């Protein structure tokens, strides 16, 4: 059955329009739409019909086909919104005498209500039918300021839309008590990253008890604060804290490394790029950051009126590059900063992205991007390569079409811009909510792609690995994911615990401890010899199977442990890989020898890896990964549950113990 509706989920009990909140969660249920212009298929009055609220007539508002006598909302005879006689309004497709919401004549109500039908796939009663499972898209948006309720109300007794300030601007949001709703996480649930950083800062630099005693913060405290800023995407705060540390301890190893790296990052960068790539692509534009200090050159074919999208992408790439070099500097390691700009390519749509990937020997896709080692270029798609995003895009396009709304301006909240004159406030809020959801999903994809693929590119650009050696995929993916902020992450997490791969890794260890290879040593050996990736098929990558998630979570987990606890050994491992023969697929024995030598697990007498020492290393690794905890465990668990519920297939519901993981 075809249906089309938007439900912005009620996630927590409590009133709408809280005075303060740091996160808003938008949950969109999208389904197949009828063709525009057919009876009952209009979007917010865009075709002849009723409009959205209080509609009356034949072709109503935002709805799929609603036959006479259909469902509707509370007290709505024959469909539509409250008090809307006729067939319109905003409602799912409802068969004759079928579903509906509580109080709808001839209809069922919410799940479990007598009378059949119900909501979101519940079984219908008399005249009802089994609704298909919802296709849901979830976006979590951090809010920069308290919400405010707009003064103009829609109808007596109804709540007006909200207005929320985000990093993009001020957006009006849907907030009606019936139908589509927006609920916000209260501040007590989880403060924003900025607020959490300020709290950590106060512990170090504004401890009144220590100030009275004449005590200064230790170098370790300041260094830990700098790392906290870095792992939350606050590069500017990281620089501020490291400069404070430089004032206190100029000879500190991390300070010395940081100052050298910062000076290298601030130097002018040569044009660079990829001449061969540009000639191959033909008529293509090139862009750099407006301030001229960026380390990337982005090739694209976007129209000339899209500079903002290009600049956002370049800013993400530059931010990822600085995080990469800052993190190594914090550990006392100075890596050479590229003196020429690194090439990146932005394709417009998925077909172009696929053609480009095929021409580059099919490197693996992670999120919405790839890194081609030989060509030294990162390639991204301007639109997220996600089926649910694509459905949301099509759903939203029907509302934004014909120039009635301008999505970008709805998000930025420019005065008297982004909508036609005379647009009702509720229609504006409805469109604004959809626009904000799409903007957040696009931003997540940009951030994930830039942080992962730019980090892969930097492994070679910074000299850690040579481009002419066939490096195991576990190393490339592991390092990319270590610096990555994955999609569906509520805030930046470079070099921190992955909200995608840690739960998946723990689950694989969890079922009687046997879901990997049975022992830590066997699992370590399978990872290091690239066994998990070599066994993957094209279908695993295409369908994002459990086998792919298992391989990636294992690579991330081992890399995270080694980078955080054995960095000098890990750098030695990179050096040994660099000494391998050019363009030669390394066999299992060679890969194990390399790893064992680098991590002091090699027996010089037998000239073989020492399994006893490797076993101790493997045991320490798995024990560590079972004991580390997320910073906001309860908050993230709720988000994972929501993502999992939104992505679970109706014939294969989530079972107890299965991780709440959605792989980007």
Written as one string, the DSSP assignment of 438-505 is HHHHHHHHHHHHHHHHHHHHHHHHTTSS-TTS---HHHHHHHHHHS---TT-SS--TTS--TTHHHHH
Q: Which tens digits make up the pLDDT trace of 107-126?
A: 322 223 333 322 222 233 33
| Closest to 365 (Cα-Cα) out of 637, 552, 108 | 552
Yes or no: say if 103 and 75 are a contact pair by the CB < 8 Å rule.
Answer: yes
Question: How far is residue 25's CA from residue 184's CA, in Å, rounded to a whole number?
Answer: 6
Q: What angle do CA 555, 367, 22 make, to 5 degrees?
A: 100
Contacts of 228 (CB under 8 A, 6+ apart): 197, 200
Helix axes 611-627, 546-565, angle to 10 degrees: 100
User: Which strands sit side by side in the sheet containing 135-142, from one edge to the other?
Assistant: 135-142, 21-30, 183-186
Q: How confident is the model at residue 293 (pLDDT cuts 50, 70, 90)?
A: confident
Residue 514's pLDDT is what? 60
Q: What is the pLDDT of residue 107?
A: 31
Q: Per-residue pLDDT tens for 407-418? A: 888 999 888 888
Rounded Cα distance, 37 and 47, in Å: 6
Of 167-171, 356-360, 473-477, which one has max mean pLDDT?
A: 473-477
Q: Which two tokens stand for residue 335?
A: 């890596």
The rounded mean pLDDT for the chain is 76
618 to 208, 266, 478, 623: CA distances (angstroms): 44, 40, 16, 9
Q: Name the pLDDT band for 563 (thresholds 50, 70, 90).
A: very high
Distance, CA of 116 to CA of 99 (rounded, Å): 6
> ∠ CA(195), CA(199), CA(202), 5° rounding?
135
C-alpha 532/C-alpha 555 separation (Å) is 9
For the ranges 185-189, 372-376, 626-630, the lowest mean pLDDT is seen at 185-189
Give how far Cα 364 sits from Cα of 80, 377, 532, 655, Å.
Answer: 47, 13, 14, 30
Helix axes 546-565, 501-510, angle to 10 degrees: 110
Mean pLDDT of 257-280: 86
Closest CA to 44 of 60, 28, 30, 31: 60
The residue that leads in pLDDT, 590 or 162, is 590
Strand boundaries in 47-188, DSSP class E: 135-142, 148-149, 162-166, 169-173, 183-186
The kind and range of the H/E element at 233 are: none
Quickly list DSSP for 623-663. HHHHH---TTHHHHHHHHHHHHHHH-BTTBPPPTT------
In sequence order, which residues have a C-beta less than 8 Å from that of residue 537 and are 6 or more positions away? Answer: none
Strands (E), 232-310: 285-287, 296-300
Which residue is it, tokens 């660099």? Answer: 578
Give the 3-state secondary structure of residue 571. helix
Whose tokens are 């800013």? That residue is 315
Q: Cα separation of 424 and 403, whole Å?
A: 16
Decide: 441 and 384 in contact? Cβ < 8 Å.
yes
The 10 Å Cβ neighbour count of residue 543 is 11
Helix (H) or strand (E) holding 315: helix 307-330
pLDDT at residue 58 in the model: 33
Which residue is associated with the tokens 């992205």? 353
Tokens coding 308: 């903002």
Residue with tokens 């997220």: 384
Q: What is the pLDDT of residue 172?
A: 86
d(CA 66, CA 579): 69
User: pLDDT tens digit string along 468-499?
Assistant: 888 999 999 999 999 999 988 889 999 999 99
Percent residues over pLDDT 70 in the chain: 71
Tell me the Ramachandran region of residue 416: left when phi exceeds 0, alpha when psi lies from -120 to 50, beta otherwise. Answer: left
Residue 135: CB atoms within 10 Å: 18
Confidence of residue 242 (pLDDT cuts 50, 70, 90): very high
Q: Which distant-in-sequence residues (6+ apart) come within 8 Å of 335 by Cβ?
A: 261, 325, 328, 462, 463, 464
Reported confidence tier of residue 593, pLDDT bands at 50, 70, 90? very high
CB 141 within 8 A of CB 23: yes
pTM of the predicted protein model: 0.80
- The helix (run of H) or strand (run of E) holding residue 380 is strand 377-381
- pLDDT over 50 at 662, yes or no: no
Strand partners, 137: 28
Torsion of CA 74, 76, 81, 87, to 10 degrees: 150
């Amino acid at each position: 059955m075809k249906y089309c509706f938007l439900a912005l989920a009620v996630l927590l009990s409590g009133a709408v329009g809280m005075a303060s909140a740091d996160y808003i969660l938008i949950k969109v249920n999208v389904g197949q739409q009828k063709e525009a212009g057919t009876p009952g298929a209009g979007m917010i009055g865009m075709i002849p019909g009723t409009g959205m609220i209080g509609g009356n007539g034949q072709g109503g508002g935002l709805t799929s086909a609603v036959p006479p006598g259909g469902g509707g909302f509370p007290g709505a005879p024959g469909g539509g919104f409250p008090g809307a006689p006729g067939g319109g309004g905003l409602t799912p497709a409802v068969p004759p005498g079928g579903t509906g919401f509580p109080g709808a004549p001839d209809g069922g109500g919410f799940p479990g209500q007598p009378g059949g039908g119900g909501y979101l796939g519940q079984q219908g009663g008399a005249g009802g039918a089994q609704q298909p499972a919802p296709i849901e898209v979830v976006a979590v948006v951090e809010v920069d300021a308290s919400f405010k309720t707009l003064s103009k109300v829609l109808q007596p007794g109804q709540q007006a839309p909200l207005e929320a300030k985000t990093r993009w601007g001020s957006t009006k949001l849907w907030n009606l008590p019936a139908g589509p709703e927006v609920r916000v996480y209260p501040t007590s649930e989880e403060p924003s990253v900025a607020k959490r950083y300020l709290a950590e800062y106060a512990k170090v630099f504004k401890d009144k008890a220590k100030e009275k005693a004449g005590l200064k913060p230790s170098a370790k405290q300041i260094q830990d604060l700098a790392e906290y800023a870095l792992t939350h995407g606050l590069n500017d705060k990281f620089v501020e804290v490291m400069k404070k540390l430089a004032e206190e301890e100029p000879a500190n190893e991390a300070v010395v490394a940081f100052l050298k790296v910062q000076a290298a990052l601030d130097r002018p960068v040569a044009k660079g790029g990829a001449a061969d790539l540009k000639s191959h692509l033909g008529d293509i534009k090139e862009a750099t950051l407006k301030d001229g200090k960026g380390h990337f050159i982005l090739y694209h074919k976007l129209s000339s009126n899209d500079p903002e999208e290009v600049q956002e992408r370049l800013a993400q790439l530059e931010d990822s590059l600085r995080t990469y070099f800052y993190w190594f500097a914090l550990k006392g390691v100075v890596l050479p900063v590229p003196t020429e700009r690194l090439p990146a390519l932005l394709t417009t749509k998925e077909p172009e992205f696929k053609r480009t990937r095929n021409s580059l020997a099919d490197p693996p896709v992670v999120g919405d991007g790839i890194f081609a080692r030989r060509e030294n270029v990162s390639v991204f798609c301007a639109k997220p390569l996600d089926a649910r995003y694509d459905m949301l895009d099509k759903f939203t396009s029907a509302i934004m079409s014909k120039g009635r709304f301008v999505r970008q301006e709805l998000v930025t909240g420019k005065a008297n811009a982004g909508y036609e004159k005379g647009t009702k406030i509720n229609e504006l809020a409805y469109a604004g909510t959809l626009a904000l959801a799409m903007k957040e999903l696009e931003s997540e994809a940009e951030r994930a792609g830039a942080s992962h693929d730019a980090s892969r590119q930097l492994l070679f650009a910074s000299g850690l690995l040579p481009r002419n050696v066939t490096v195991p995929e576990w190393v490339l993916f592991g390092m990319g994911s270590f610096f990555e902020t994955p999609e569906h992450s509520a805030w930046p997490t470079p070099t921190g615990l992955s909200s995608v791969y840690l739960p998946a890794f723990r689950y694989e260890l969890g079922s009687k401890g046997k879901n990997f290879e049975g022992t830590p040593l066997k699992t370590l050996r399978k990872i290091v010899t690239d066994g998990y990736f070599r066994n993957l098929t094209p279908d695993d990558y295409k369908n994002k199977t459990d086998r792919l998630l298992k391989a990636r979570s294992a690579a991330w987990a081992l890399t995270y442990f080694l980078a955080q606890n054995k960095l000098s050994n890990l750098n030695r491992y990179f050096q040994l890989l660099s000494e391998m023969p050019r363009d030669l697929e390394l066999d299992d024995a060679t890969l194990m020898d390399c790893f064992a030598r680098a991590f002091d697990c090699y027996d010089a007498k037998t000239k073989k890896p020492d399994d006893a020492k490797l076993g101790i290393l493997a045991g320490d690794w798995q024990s560590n990964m079972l004991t580390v905890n997320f910073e906001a465990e309860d908050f993230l668990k709720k988000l994972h549950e929501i993502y999992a519920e939104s992505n679970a297939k109706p014939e294969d519901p989530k079972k107890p113990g299965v991780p709440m993981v959605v792989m980007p």
